[in-house]
């Protein structure tokens, strides 16, 4: 009996030790310019069954906010756990290693601990679509390997329809443009991204991995196989009335509209509401295309028995306007621009959880590190969301801070609490905004001059200026200078 008891105890001890020492994988999935128009976020028109499936497997963060609604700075903040004002990364042309040569990025953290760390597609900033198929502005130290597939959306750009037609050839990185070829998913860049990521999952399933699949859609130009366009009949696509949209902006500070005011509506001159409607249809088609690729990745985890060993996170770099207030694109401090999807699933994560507390993208780094059993590095600006993954309704008092950076002398900082969004432009000298999300979720009425909220405004102003006063001005280097400096440091 004693021998049997001792044997059972040793088996139990060994099993517990194996479990304690097991390294969870991370599947790190991002989309480009994706807002929260998703089925699991309550927008039933948009068909996203696979992202919805992931939400049922884990926690959907309803109020997740980027730190800066611009691709480069936002992605840098995710990968470093640092705010733009901490890292200095506030421009698209900034280079992370020039600003912080010794920073340990998220993928690098795992690589340093024996994980296979790989990127397929866009994680750091790329000029989209111009730099598809290249390393873009990627960080080599983050990865063990990196891959840059490209498809017909890049190789056959001449087939893309551009509005207005006079802009044909002017560049597609900021464009009202679309294409709906009769094609297979794997003819396109994002289909190839999914295929390569699946190949890596299968190849490295027996070792701990941090695999990042970065999709380029639904960033413009909005290109996807025709079957996804067919899911959205054009007559079902709704656009806000422009008279109503204009009225929404009557009480907004001029600096908030610096990039959009002279080009309103829809950013480019001579864009008609019907052309905008077509682009919104194309955007939704691109979203469903990305969703299908997410489904392929989840299927690969299930096929290889990795679901119980893998933390899966899905996120986008920022939100996106699709004609609301007559606006298009990002780079604004409105909710529509800084709020983005974030879903996390994995062993021990509450299934089907919905978290309504404000959280930030700088929280992603410490959360993944903590949840995969590692010690969170000191000096990060974010905090672990592990308590919310266990209990999405847990008490949470931290606000979310976002910013717009036009130049060193024109900036706006926004704070989002459970109920309120408060924004200051140049520390309030160029205007302020206050929106009550309990009664005005679309931010149509600026309450800044309401005396009833004077005490609240003072409190929020004190809080947001803790961040706005940390900025140190710098001018981004020219590309040639940047590459020269990187060469010198090698």
* Residues catalogued as catalytic: 71, 125
Strands, E assignment, 317-377: 321-322, 328-329, 342-345, 353-355, 359-360
- C-alpha span between 251 and 446 (Å, rounded): 6
Bridge-based pairing state of the strands 410-416 and 64-65: unpaired
- C-alpha span between 321 and 280 (Å, rounded): 10
How many C-beta neighbours within 10 Å does residue 158 have? 8
Length of the chain counted residue by residue:
490
Q: CA dist 336 to 45, 241, 380, Å?
A: 17, 17, 26
* Contact between residue 24 and residue 310 where contact means Cβ atoms under 8 Å apart: yes
- What single DSSP character describes residue 383? -
Bridge-based pairing state of the strands 432-436 and 420-425: antiparallel
Query: Please, what is the Cα angle at 298 between 292 and 299, to 5 degrees?
Result: 90
* Contact between residue 342 and residue 313 where contact means Cβ atoms under 8 Å apart: yes
Buried b (16+ CB within 10 A) or exposed e, 214-243: bbbbbbbbbbbbebbbebbeeeebebbebe
- C-alpha span between 173 and 90 (Å, rounded): 19
How many C-beta neighbours within 10 Å does residue 107 have? 25
DSSP letter string, 459-482: HHHHHHHHHHTT----PPPPHHHH
- C-alpha span between 248 and 445 (Å, rounded): 7
Cα-Cα-Cα-Cα dihedral of 38, 381, 120, 202, to 10°?
A: -90
Query: Please, what is the Cα angle at 244 between 240 and 248, to 5 degrees?
Result: 105
* Contact between residue 119 and residue 106 where contact means Cβ atoms under 8 Å apart: no
């Amino acid at each position: 009996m004693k021998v049997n008891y001792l044997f059972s105890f040793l088996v139990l001890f060994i099993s517990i030790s194996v479990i304690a020492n097991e390294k969870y994988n991370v599947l790190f999935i991002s989309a480009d310019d994706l807002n929260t128009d998703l089925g699991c976020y309550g927008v039933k028109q948009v068909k996203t069954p696979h992202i919805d499936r992931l939400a049922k497997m884990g926690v959907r963060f309803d109020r997740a906010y980027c730190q800066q609604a611009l691709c480069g700075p936002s992605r840098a903040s995710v990968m470093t756990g640092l705010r733009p004002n901490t890292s200095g990364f506030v421009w698209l042309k900034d280079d992370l290693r020039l600003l912080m040569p010794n920073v340990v990025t998220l993928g690098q953290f795992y690589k340093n601990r024996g994980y296979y760390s790989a990127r397929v597609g866009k994680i750091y900033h790329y000029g989209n679509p111009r730099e598809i198929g290249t390393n873009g502005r990627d960080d080599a130290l983050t990865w063990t390997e990196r891959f840059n597939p490209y498809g017909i959306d890049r190789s056959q750009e001449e087939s893309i329809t551009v509005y207005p037609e006079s802009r044909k050839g002017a560049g597609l990185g900021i464009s009202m443009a679309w294409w709906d070829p009769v094609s297979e998913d794997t003819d396109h860049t994002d289909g190839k991204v999914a295929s390569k990521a699946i190949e890596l999952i299968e190849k490295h399933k027996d070792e701990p991995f941090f695999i990042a699949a970065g999709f380029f859609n639904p960033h413009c130009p909005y290109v996807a196989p025709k079957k996804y366009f067919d899911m959205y009949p054009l007559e079902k696509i709704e656009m806000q009335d422009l008279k109503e949209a204009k009225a929404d902006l009557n009480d907004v500070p001029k600096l908030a509209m610096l990039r959009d005011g002279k080009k309103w509506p829809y950013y480019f001159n001579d864009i008609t509401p019907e052309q905008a409607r077509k682009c919104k249809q194309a955007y939704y088609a691109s979203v469903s295309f990305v969703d299908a690729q997410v489904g392929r990745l989840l299927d690969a985890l299930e096929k290889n028995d990795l679901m119980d060993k893998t933390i899966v996170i899905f996120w986008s770099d920022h939100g996106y306007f699709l004609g609301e207030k007559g606006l298009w694109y990002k780079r604004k401090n409105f909710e529509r621009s800084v709020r983005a999807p974030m879903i996390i699933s994995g062993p021990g994560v509450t299934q089907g959880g919905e978290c309504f507390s404000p959280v930030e993208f700088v929280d992603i780094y410490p959360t993944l590190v903590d949840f995969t059993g590692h010690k969170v590095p000191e000096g990060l600006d974010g905090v672990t969301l592990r308590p919310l993954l266990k209990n999405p309704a847990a008490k949470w008092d931290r606000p979310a801070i976002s910013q717009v950076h036009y130049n060193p002398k024109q900036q706006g900082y926004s704070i989002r609490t459970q109920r309120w969004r408060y924004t200051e432009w140049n520390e309030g000298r160029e205007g302020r905004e206050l929106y009550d999300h309990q009664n005005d979720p679309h931010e149509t009425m600026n309450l800044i001059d309401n005396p009833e909220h004077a005490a609240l405004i003072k409190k929020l102003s004190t809080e947001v200026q803790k961040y706005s006063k940390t900025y140190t001005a710098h001018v981004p280097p020219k590309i040639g200078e940047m590459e020269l400096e990187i060469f010198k440091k090698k």
